[in-house]
Chain A
Amino acid sequence: NAGVTQTPKFRILKIGQSMTLQCTQDMNHNYMYWYRQDPGMGLKLIYYSVGAGITDKGEVPNGYNVSRSTTEDFPLRLELAAPSQTSVYFCASHLPQGRQKDGYTFGSGTRLTVV
């Protein structure tokens, strides 16, 4: 298993540009998440999904959109990049609560800079 794969690893965007952060997992995990990590802060939840076709907002969803058309893929879309979106983004996944004995699996992160 490759686990959770995020692409790209690094990206520089100009203000107002758009991009999609890709996240794919091959573990048949129902639950998937997008987090952002800012310096000195804990991870903040942007969006999450409990299965294909079902998504919901987290704590900091403004400026982002997601979709979940398949179990494997959970892309995060930034429509109009702003400097406040400069951060490190992590995708994560896990099995349903009763089967979540091993906790989360995280992707390696995407470092995004908006200039």
Chain B
Amino acid sequence: KNEVEQSPQNLTAQEGEFITINCSYSVGISALHWLQQHPGGGIVSLFMLSSGKKKHGRLIATINIQEKHSSLHITASHPRDSAVYICAVRLGSGTYKYIFGTGTRLKVLA
């Protein structure tokens, strides 16, 4: 079993739909990152969370430390949101070692 699991692996949505991508982890962490990888391959950091919730535009990320779970929500999805979304956890405080999920491939249809 992977230490960081994402679900679903693949997701197709219609433009305008509300999207949720989940990340569960089984290790102690000091922070969790959500990354976006575009079809061309570039990776962009969306959020870094250690507790609670963050919002940026149409993107919302939440984390529940007790349940070892995080969600990334996209409101009013758009075809330009089509990408692979990657969850990564930083192991413990004072370390810079990360474990990455295998990603959720999102396709938003017009």
How many residues belonging to B are interface residues under a CB distance threshold of 8 Å? 26
Which A residues from 32 to 89 make CB contacts under 8 A with B? 33, 35, 40-45, 48, 50, 58, 88
Q: Which of these binds chain A: B40-48, B63-71, B75-83?
A: B40-48
B48/A101 in contact, CB under 8 A: yes
B86/A43 in contact, CB under 8 A: yes
Which A residues from 12 to 36 make CB contacts under 8 A with B? 31, 33, 35
B103: nearest chain-A partner, CB-CB: A42
Residues of A contacting B98 in the complex (Cβ-Cβ under 8 angstroms): 43, 45
Which B residues from 45 to 75 make CB contacts under 8 A with A? 45-48
A44: nearest chain-B partner, CB-CB: B100
A92: nearest chain-B partner, CB-CB: B43
13 new A-B contacts, CB < 8 A, other than A106-B44, A106-B45, are A35-B100, A42-B4, A42-B100, A43-B100, A44-B100, A48-B96, A90-B43, A92-B43, A102-B45, A103-B33, A103-B35, A106-B35, A106-B43
